[in-house]
A and B are shown apart, each in its own frame.
Chain A
């Protein structure tokens, strides 16, 4: 799992079977100091509470589909939690 920042939402009316009701968000992957790291991805919001600007953690690959109610769905990134605070050795972030 990695840290990410929600950058926006994606609206897609036409979807694959099993994706009805799933919210898609654009997530910028972050390094441990919460600096941008890599290309933004579109992630399913499995906590249904994430919004733009929010710090989250997400899973990738097969485990992303496990986050949703329907498990055999074509999803490769999913937000599984909101982050209040990251405390690194010796500093608070």
Chain B
């Protein structure tokens, strides 16, 4: 899984049916110290807020399992909100 910081939201009027009803968040990938290293657009299933540090699962089969589907073009899902890293 990857550590990221939620940078903002993505509004999509037309998308693949699997994304309907799901929030898409734009997340800056960060290392444990907080330095940014690229970004990802991920499906939010934990109600993460902008500015929060989150855990992103970036693997297709796991992502589909979390969303309760067997097929579909999804890979990145926010699966946790990070309280602290020690």
Q: Which residue of A is nearest B26, CB measured?
A: A32
Closest chain-B Cβ to A5's Cβ sits at a distance in Å of 14
Q: Please, could you name 28 A-B residue pairs with CB atoms under 8 Å apart, sorted by A?
A: A3-B26, A31-B39, A32-B26, A32-B28, A49-B14, A57-B12, A59-B74, A59-B75, A61-B60, A61-B75, A63-B75, A66-B72, A67-B72, A71-B71, A78-B73, A80-B15, A80-B16, A81-B12, A81-B14, A82-B14, A83-B11, A86-B26, A88-B7, A88-B8, A88-B26, A89-B7, A89-B8, A89-B51
In the bound complex, how far is the Cα of B14 from the Cα of A81, in angstroms? 6
Interface size class of B (residues with CB under 8 A): 20 to 34
Interface size class of A (residues with CB under 8 A): 20 to 34
Q: Give the residue of A61, A67, A83 whose beta carbon is less than 8 angstroms from that of B12.
A: A83
Q: Which residues of A contact B40 (CB under 8 A)?
A: 1-2
